[in-house]
Structure 1
């Protein structure tokens, strides 16, 4: 019987990894934006709106998706994402294919259709992301940082994977990216992988979460646990665990009444919102600055498409590496607390440092990166620092947030609480992105891409100030939650 459980767990891990790797299609929009400008004559605000539709599609129903995860399991989310990816990418490809090549100005109907279709694909992204991350987290609750970090790392690697596929199989030096066939490929691959995930993603009965333990304790009054009681049957009790009283957020109202939640939401607003502004607009940022020979970009100077692809890969690689490192490191220096039936929280391993450290690092990295954009970048060769800095900050923050939420507000409603928190970037991403779009559009009043550092210098100056304020907030949270996470 144990062999069957191990086999099921192996299949679940492979399926979750495949979902994560195939979930980031919307993040390759910068690869498509030059072709959309040339073929559909879209303006910068229109490009930003379509990109935002994909980014923001991840967030409006995040709390609902979290509730689906908590109640039905990751398989249901994988099934929904299969339908959404297939329809979103497929309809997007169809809209581009039916648009004539000789139009002289953007079509309003095509713009609205593309925005809707990319929103559908973005909605598929959040269902896919939750299915992989929480499948891993709930199968390995004792190592939530490593489990979720690994899935997030693969999710972060997804744009790089698709970028390599796009440049290898769907691009030519003469014509650039064949957007229509690339989107058709995304439609088939993402739909198929997530359909298989609906069959494979399970949470074994042995992988019990805190809510099951609490329920059993309520049914059996004699099941009283102290700080040395093992929380999972079959495990030896841990010695010298630290016990801290906590208040569970049983309802969303309890969560919203906590002032620290709003501080964490502000940090999330800034870090994820400004990072996703860069993720969705790196293509036009590349086009806005002059090319300059450099050992870093020398091999990729053949076209703007190749340079944009390079920046997407740097973003993806930095994002992935930070997620791979942060998950295990956070588990080591800041072990996740477990909920005792008595309403207290215990650490089974020695706690070295607060997990807020990683948010402080993210905000610091963003502040330094945006400073470089404002005062240092004057050519295309210097943009690698933007891609690397944003990728590191984005991956680090995203990796640590689920464990922060579970440590402070408990595991039973982790999906819901994390979903509520993700409304912060739902607001932050359009704020920063439209700031970028309208600043660029003000500098360039015709169709095409704005040229020059003035297209984004004000945007990054405002982002720099926001990152510094967010850094101060993380220091406040570090002090408030000292010894708790």
Structure 2
């Protein structure tokens, strides 16, 4: 027989056959034969038929299940990576459009010339958008943390579309009645820019929060946060170029004129509405549950959960050692939908609902605790004050760039109308210079600091500053075996703190402000790029490094709320410096036109426009002093008593 011949042809293994008490043979290790032979067979089958058992071997099925499990896990990892990087790519695209307000200088002079707004009214529109952009940021950050980034993205798209639509038709209607026209009232334009400001911060926060949470614990967290922020600066550059070279008015002789503001606003509204709508589906945070679990584990290890309501109300473990509703693994029992009955299905569904509720409660508690600890940290307020004093002048500069350039040249006369005056430099060119240098500084700051900044632990802010940490370490020493100290991480050749970069770029900003305030650029507009480049570089670097420092010092689990709270403070600076610049400008314009008899068209224009050093010099001297004060506050938060350096937090 085939079975007998195969048994005889195989060499003897030298093993003995043993029987159990029932007389049945015991299966040894060598009874397994590859190739599909059955693992179990009765000897009487050979005696009766002399043929092998037809039972299926489970060996192939066992290894097949392992291979299928590995393949499934690999597919799951690949899917997560695809979602992570697609979300990152769409966040970049959203940020390329979100900073549309940085192109405000492109059409601000047309508000004066076409709508006859005063400089104070032009700044009023800008201030309204600035306040709407910064004040709701904590709410948008909270929404990103609690509901995910998709909903804020859709909300931003709707706000952009409605705001730019109203602004387009308000501009097309002509000068308001207060300026002698029959167009829509001035307050309609102000009202239109409020949702535009809200949409700017909402879209920005949804994109940056997605990138920070998906890549914030990796090696290149600085670059992952800096790139979307850099793209916000690029918005003004490409949008101003599109407006100047594609969406422009034609003069009677057929040559290219100023930007067609009506069409420009319609283009921005449609583009940003569609971008935000797609972002509702594209923006996803990967492995957020893992972030929450790791953070809770660190908090418990540091002792911060001992006195918390969450820690005290954790459900006791059952007989199997699994927590009923505490954080960690929830006991779910046998989750198979077997044929044993509906009771097992109901039990499984109930356990899953309990697990989901526990996950939500865990996340809510952690985010509330992180917010409380963030707001109670005194170094936050030094960082925020410096951020306000640096970004406020930068915001005022970019919003008034067009009118600042106008003060460098003699005013237009009847022989040389403003529309036909050939200037050696334009607002669109300097918006692009500001955007390019700001973008390069953001990318450079994020990339270089990733390479040179001191190595930081993901949870260093909890381990270093936890209450009762000494007591916890003593208890651990008594109850846990002593382990050898970890090897120190290898030191790199050069380590430069992110604070060093931020201070250097801030001083570069003040250098440009001092250059302009000194008056050396008056009637030398071709050198104005020095101010635009230095201000753009400093502004961009500070806006890039500050959220990176927030993620390093306070973690990424609550990044949306933390960065939202901090990024709301520039609203005060932008408002204050916008009012200061407008006040100085109006004062200088009134002084220059004091000898002109009011009443004619030329006199009306003289009352509105200003020319000369005194239009801007006092403002920019004060701006430079503001930046120097900010540098001192940052040094105090970094190296002062209770600062990051003394806590052992590597920034």
**TM-score, length basis structure 2:** 0.64
Residues 219 and 475 of structure 1: CA distance in aligned 2, closer, same or farther (over 3 Å): closer
| One of 458, 480, 488 as aligned partner of 1:338 | 458
| One of 298, 306, 321 as aligned partner of 2:440 | 321
Q: Does 1:464 align with 2:624?
A: yes
Per the alignment, residue 363 of structure 1 pairs with 506
Q: Report how far residue 421 of structure 1 moved.
A: 1.2
Q: For residues 226 and 165 of structure 2, what CA distance do their matches in structure 1 show?
A: 30
Instruction: Provide, for residues 351-384 of structure 1, a one-character-per-residue CA deviation record: whole Å limited to 9, x for no partner.
Output: 8232211221132112211110111321322211
Q: Report how far residue 109 of structure 1 moved.
A: 6.2
Describe the SS at the equivalent of 1:41. Answer: coil
Moved more, 107-116 or 153-162: 107-116
8 A Cα contact 2:222 2:450, kept in partner: yes
Q: For residues 375 and 464 of structure 2, what CA distance do their matches in structure 1 show?
A: 21
Q: For residues 240 and 270 of structure 2, what CA distance do their matches in structure 1 show?
A: 17
Residues 218 and 321 of structure 1: CA distance in aligned 2, closer, same or farther (over 3 Å): closer
8 A Cα contact 1:287 1:304, kept in partner: no
| One of 239, 256, 262 as aligned partner of 1:180 | 262
| One of 365, 384, 395 as aligned partner of 1:265 | 384
Q: 1:58-457 residue pairs with structure 2 within 5 A?
A: 58-99=133-174, 104-105=179-180, 110-141=185-216, 142=218, 143-172=220-249, 174=251, 175-205=257-287, 210-215=291-296, 250=369, 252=371, 254-290=373-409, 303=422, 307-334=426-453, 335-339=455-459, 343-344=463-464, 350=491, 352-375=495-518, 376-379=520-523, 380-445=525-590, 447-457=607-617
Moved more, 126-135 or 439-448: 439-448
Please identify which structure carries the higher helix content: 1
8 A Cα contact 2:116 2:175, kept in partner: no
Instruction: Provide, for residues 179-225 of structure 1, a one-character-per-residue CA deviation record: whole Å limited to 9, x for no partner.
Output: 001000001011111111111111122x666433123567999xxxx
Q: For residues 407 and 153 of structure 2, what CA distance do their matches in structure 1 show?
A: 38
8 A Cα contact 2:164 2:268, kept in partner: yes
Q: Which runs of 5+ in 1 are unaligned?
A: 222-247, 292-300
Q: For residues 348 and 200 of structure 1, what CA distance do their matches in structure 2 show?
A: 38
Per the alignment, residue 3 of structure 1 pairs with 78
8 A Cα contact 1:34 1:305, kept in partner: no
Describe the SS at the equivalent of 2:609. Answer: coil
Q: Report how far residue 173 of structure 1 moved.
A: 6.6
8 A Cα contact 2:212 2:556, kept in partner: no
Residues 117 and 396 of structure 1: CA distance in aligned 2, closer, same or farther (over 3 Å): same
Is the radius of gyration larger for structure 1 or structure 2? 2
Q: For residues 172 and 98 of structure 1, what CA distance do their matches in structure 2 show?
A: 16
Per the alignment, residue 51 of structure 2 pairs with none
Instruction: Provide, for residues 2-32 of structure 1, a one-character-per-residue CA deviation record: whole Å limited to 9, x for no partner.
Output: 3333332332122111101011111111111
Describe the SS at the equivalent of 1:202. Answer: coil
Describe the SS at the equivalent of 2:197. Answer: helix
Q: Which runs of 5+ in 2 are unaligned?
A: 1-74, 252-256, 303-366, 411-419, 466-485, 591-603
Residues 69 and 348 of structure 1: CA distance in aligned 2, closer, same or farther (over 3 Å): farther
Instruction: Provide, for residues 274-332 of structure 1, a one-character-per-residue CA deviation record: whole Å limited to 9, x for no partner.
Output: 100001000100111128xxxxxxxxx97459711001000000000001111111112
Aligned length: 449
Q: For residues 74 and 31 of structure 1, what CA distance do their matches in structure 2 show?
A: 31
Per the alignment, residue 115 of structure 2 pairs with 40
Instruction: Provide, for residues 240-261 of structure 1, a one-character-per-residue CA deviation record: whole Å limited to 9, x for no partner.
Output: xxxxxxxx99365544443322
Q: For residues 368 and 545 of structure 2, what CA distance do their matches in structure 1 show?
A: 19
Per the alignment, residue 46 of structure 2 pairs with none
Q: Report how far residue 104 of structure 1 moved.
A: 4.7
Q: Report how far residue 336 of structure 1 moved.
A: 4.6
Instruction: Provide, for residues 262-283 of structure 1, a one-character-per-residue CA deviation record: whole Å limited to 9, x for no partner.
Output: 2111110111111000010001
8 A Cα contact 2:176 2:186, kept in partner: no
Per the alignment, residue 30 of structure 1 pairs with 105
Instruction: Provide, for residues 404-461 of structure 1, a one-character-per-residue CA deviation record: whole Å limited to 9, x for no partner.
Output: 1122223222221211112321111111111000100111235532111211110001
Residues 199 and 210 of structure 1: CA distance in aligned 2, closer, same or farther (over 3 Å): closer
Give the CA RMSD over aligned residues. 2.9
Describe the SS at the equivalent of 1:338. Answer: coil
8 A Cα contact 2:173 2:182, kept in partner: no
**TM-score, length basis structure 1:** 0.85
Q: Report how far residue 472 of structure 1 moved.
A: 2.2
Residues 159 and 438 of structure 1: CA distance in aligned 2, closer, same or farther (over 3 Å): same
Per the alignment, residue 96 of structure 2 pairs with 21
Per the alignment, residue 241 of structure 1 pairs with none
Q: For residues 14 and 219 of structure 1, what CA distance do their matches in structure 2 show?
A: 36
Per the alignment, residue 325 of structure 2 pairs with none
Q: Report how far residue 33 of structure 1 moved.
A: 1.2
Per the alignment, residue 482 of structure 2 pairs with none
